[in-house]
């Protein structure tokens, strides 16, 4: 079994960066969906998703809004996060039936 090599980032992946990753044998990039982030560039955009794909890299979608304490985890918050992830996946053009991973810090 082979191991895939990749990374996740809260920074936008530009065409130059995507090509550098590909040239250095990276195979995937993890990028974020979020409803509440205030970090500039954290959220994956449709243009960035296309840039990553055009470079020949796989894209891993990760949803993160700050799950760092027990009270965060409720049915209501889970529903909000799931809807936020589905909305952003549709806006980015993520293929239906593909995974969105959720963080727990």
Mean pLDDT of 34-61: 95
Please give the CATH architecture assigned to the domain spanning 6-102: Alpha-Beta Barrel (3.20)
Q: Say what the alpha-carbon torsion angle 99, 47, 91, 79 is, to the nearest 10 degrees.
A: 50
**Stated pTM of the model:** 0.90
> What is the three-class DSSP state of 42?
coil
Tokens 């969906």: give the residue. 33
Q: Please say if the pLDDT value at position 85 is more than 80.
A: yes
Confidence of residue 89 (pLDDT cuts 50, 70, 90): very high
With tokens 């890299």, the residue in question is 57
Helix (H, G, I), strand (E, B) or coil at 39: coil
Domain boundaries, the chain: 6-102
pLDDT at 72: 85
Six token digits for residue 88:
């952003």
CB 60 within 8 A of CB 29: yes
């Amino acid at each position: 079994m082979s191991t895939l090599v990749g990374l996740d980032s809260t920074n936008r992946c530009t065409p130059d960066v995507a090509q550098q990753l590909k040239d250095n044998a990276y195979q995937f990039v993890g990028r974020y969906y979020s409803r509440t982030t205030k970090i500039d560039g954290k959220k994956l955009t449709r243009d960035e998703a296309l840039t990553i794909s055009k470079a020949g890299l796989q894209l891993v979608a990760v949803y993160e809004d700050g799950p760092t304490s027990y009270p965060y985890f409720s049915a209501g918050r889970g529903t909000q996060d799931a809807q936020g992830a589905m909305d952003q996946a549709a806006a980015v053009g993520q293929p239906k039936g593909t995974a969105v991973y959720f963080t727990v810090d």
